[in-house]
Amino acid sequence: MGKLVRSKNKVFGGVCAGIADYFGWNVGGLRFIWVLLAIIGFGSPVIFYVLLWLLMPDSARMKSSYEERMKKRLGK
C-alpha cells in the first residue's frame, strides 16, 4: 500500500478515487455508497468529504514535490 492521496481520477475532489486506489476497491461502488450515506446521513458525510479533501494531499503535488526533493539532494 502506498500513501493515502487524492487521485487524478476525480469527479469532485479525488477523495473517493484516492480511497479506492489505496484499499484496492472499485471507485464506482465507493462513490455510490458515499452518495447513499450522504442521503441517509442528511448531508453529514458531505462535511466529512470536504474535510478529507482539505486534509488529503494531491497525488500530482506529492509526485512533483518528491522529484524536487530528490533533485535537490542529488544537486541537479
Residue 6 included in any domain: no
Residue 10 included in any domain: no
pLDDT tens, N- to C-terminus, the chain (76 residues): 578 888 887 788 889 999 999 999 999 999 999 999 999 988 888 899 999 999 988 876 665 566 666 677 777 6
Containing structural domain, residue 41: 15-74
Query: What pTM does this model have?
Result: 0.70
Residue 8 included in any domain: no
Residue 53 included in any domain: yes
Between CA 23 and CA 26, with CA 25 as vertex, the angle to 5 degrees is 155
Residue 4 included in any domain: no
Residue 68 included in any domain: yes
Residue 9 included in any domain: no
The total number of structural domains in the chain stands at: 1
Residue 3 included in any domain: no
Give the DSSP letter string of the chain.
-----B-SS-SSSSHHHHHHHHHT--HHHHHHHHHHHHHHTTTHHHHHHHHHHHHSPBHHHHHHHHHHHHHHHHT-
